[in-house]
Amino acid sequence: MHIVEGAINKPAGFKAAGKHIGVKKKRKDLAIVFSEKPAVFAAMFTTNKVKAAPVLWNMKIYDSEKPIKAIVVNSGNANACTGVRGSEDTEKMASATAKALECQPEEVFVASTGVIGVPLPIELITEGISVLAKEVSDEMTSGLNASEAIMTTDTTMKVITVETEIGGKVVTISGMAKGSGMIHPNMATMLSFITTDVDISQDLLRKALKEIGKDTYNMISVDGDTSTNDMVMVMANGMAQNPAITDENNDFHKFYKALYHVNEHLAKEIVKDGEGASKFLEVTLEGAKTEDDARMLVKSVLTSNLVKTAMFGEDANWGRILCAMGYSEADFDPEGTSLEFEGGGQKIILMKEGLPIAFDEDFAYGILQNRDIKINISLEDGQASATGWGCDLSYEYVKINGEYRS
C-alpha cells in the first residue's frame, strides 16, 4: 500500500464536481460524487436521537441493501429539525440528482451540513444540482472541488488516496471528509465519503467499516458534541477487476489494512482541524482488561474539559487525567497506573505504578509547548489497548461557536 496523489474521483469509474451555488455567501457549497457502475456500499450514521432528514433517507437506502450510484452534498444548511418539509427537500435533492445523472432516487445518498433548524433553499439547490451534474468528471481538480464544497468551519480540506495490489490488480481507495466542531465519539459532526474500485461483497465491506469505525471515527473528540448529521460511507464499484473478495482471505485483509489507513488518516485530520485547536492530542493506553475498558478510558481522558484546558495552558496537571479515568466507568486498578507525556521527541514520566514521580516542571512545560502531544498510559490489568485522538479547548473555540450563525 502506498499514498498517491488524487481526489475522491481517483478510483476507476468515479466522477465528481463541486461549486458555489449560493447556499453560503462565498465558499463552495454543493458537491456530487458519481459512479459509472452501481456500487455496493457500507455506512455508519450518527447515534444522536435527533437525526437530520438526509440521515433518515440514507438509513432507508442502507436497509434496502441495493447498490447506489451517487452522493449529493450541500453545506451551509444541515436540513435538521425541519419536519416534513425537510424530508420532502431531501427527496427532491435525490430526485434532482437522479434525473441529472440518469439513475433512480433510491440510488442517491444525500448529505447536508451546516446550521440546524433552517429550511433548505431547495429551489436554489435543485437548480444547482442540474448544473453541477453536467460538470462531473474524473479530473483531479473536480474531485478537489467536491472536497472543498462539503466544508463548513473547516480550515483545510481532508483528503487521501492510496493504492494497493489485490489479485494482481491495482486497487485505489480515496477519501474526503469534513469536520471541525461538534466532534465526539460514536460519530462526530463529520461527513466522510470513501470511494474504491475494489470488487468486494457488500457484507464484507460493511463488516470492515463497522470494525474500522470503532478504532478511528469513534475514537476522536473535539468538544463532546455528537451532531445530527454525521455519516461515514464507502462505495465500491468493482471496476479494478480484481478477483471478487467474498470471504476473509488474504485479499480481504490487504484491503482492510488500506481502508483502515484511509479512515484513520481522515479521523486524525478532523481532530487536527478542531475549531480553535492549538494542540493535537494522542492518548494511548495499554494493559487494560478488555478493549471496551481501554476505549472507555481513552475517551474519558480525551473528552475531559479539565484535561483539554490543561493542555491549552501547557500545564502538566496529570491528576486531571487520572481523575477522568476514574469516572469513566471502566474497570481498572489505579495502583497499577503509569503515565507519561511525550512531545518533540522527548518524554517525561509523571506517575509510576500508582505513585507520583517528582519531575522537572520546566522540562514538562517544554514538552507541552509542542503542537503534537502524546499521553501514554500503562495499566497492569490485562493485554487490551486503545488509541484515540483529540485536541485542547481554547478561547478561539468559544469565539467560533459563539459567532457561528453570524
Q: What is the CATH number of the domain that holds 337?
A: 3.10.20.340
Q: What are the Cα distances from residue 19, in Å, to 93, 94, 135, 198, 299?
A: 16, 18, 10, 28, 37
The 10s digit of each residue's pLDDT in 33-83 is 999 999 999 999 987 888 899 999 999 999 999 999 999 999 999 999 999
Say what the pLDDT of residue 116 is. 87
Region 125-132 average pLDDT: 98
Question: Do 305 and 236 belong together in one domain?
Answer: no
Say what the pLDDT of residue 32 is. 98
Say what the pLDDT of residue 179 is. 79
Question: Do 217 and 99 belong together in one domain?
Answer: yes
Q: What is the average pLDDT value for the chain, to the nearest integer?
A: 92
Question: Do 10 and 35 belong together in one domain?
Answer: yes
Question: Do 315 and 365 belong together in one domain?
Answer: yes
pLDDT at 186 over 50: no
pLDDT at 104 over 80: yes
60 vs 226, which has greater pLDDT? 60
Measured between alpha carbons, how far is 263 from 348 in angstroms, rounded to an integer? 31
In the chain, pLDDT over 90 holds for what percent of residues? 81
- Judged by average pLDDT, the poorest of 133-137, 200-204, 395-399 is 395-399
Question: Do 250 and 305 belong together in one domain?
Answer: no
Measured between alpha carbons, how far is 173 from 143 in angstroms, rounded to an integer? 13
Say what the pLDDT of residue 185 is. 42
Among 232, 249, 272, residue at a domain's last position: 272
Count up the domains in the chain and report the number.
2
Catalytic residues: 189
Burial 121-134 (b: 16+ CB within 10 A, else e): bbeebbebbeebbe
Question: Do 327 and 257 belong together in one domain?
Answer: no
Say what the pLDDT of residue 188 is. 39
Say what the pLDDT of residue 187 is. 38
Structural domain span for residue 356: 280-402
The 10s digit of each residue's pLDDT in 243-280 is 999 999 999 999 999 999 999 999 999 888 866 678 99
pLDDT at 223 over 80: no
- At 357 the three-state DSSP class reads coil
DSSP 76: E
Would you mind telling me the total number of residues written for the chain in this entry? 406
- CATH code of 137's domain: 3.60.70.12
Q: What are the Cα distances from residue 67, in Å, to 195, 199, 207, 241, 315?
A: 13, 13, 16, 17, 51
Contact (CB, 8 A) for 163 and 170: yes
Question: Do 295 and 153 belong together in one domain?
Answer: no
Measured between alpha carbons, how far is 392 from 268 in angstroms, rounded to an integer? 14
Region 200-226 average pLDDT: 86
Helix or strand run (H / E) with residue 204: helix 202-215
Angle of the 291-303 helix axis to the 305-312 helix axis, nearest 10: 60
> Which sign does the torsion angle of CA 24, 7, 233, 71 carry?
positive
Region 181-203 average pLDDT: 76
Region 224-233 average pLDDT: 71
Among 272, 303, 321, residue at a domain's last position: 272
pLDDT at 326 over 60: yes
Helix or strand run (H / E) with residue 126: helix 122-132
pLDDT at 184 over 50: no
Q: Which residue has the cell 474531485?
A: 143
Cβ of 84: how many Cβ atoms within 10 Å? 8
Question: Do 265 and 285 belong together in one domain?
Answer: no
Question: Do 64 and 84 belong together in one domain?
Answer: yes
Measured between alpha carbons, how far is 257 from 2 in angstroms, rounded to an integer? 11
Question: Do 120 and 189 belong together in one domain?
Answer: yes
The 10s digit of each residue's pLDDT in 359-395 is 999 999 999 999 999 999 999 999 999 999 988 887 7
pTM more than 0.75? yes
Nearest of 144, 172, 173 to residue 158 by alpha carbon: 144
Question: Do 166 and 72 belong together in one domain?
Answer: yes
DSSP 27: S
Question: Do 344 and 395 belong together in one domain?
Answer: yes
Among 272, 293, 313, residue at a domain's last position: 272
Measured between alpha carbons, how far is 44 from 68 in angstroms, rounded to an integer? 15
Say what the pLDDT of residue 402 is. 66
The two counts, helices (H) then strands (E), for the chain are: 11, 16
Confidence of residue 182 (pLDDT cuts 50, 70, 90): very low
Say what the pLDDT of residue 66 is. 96
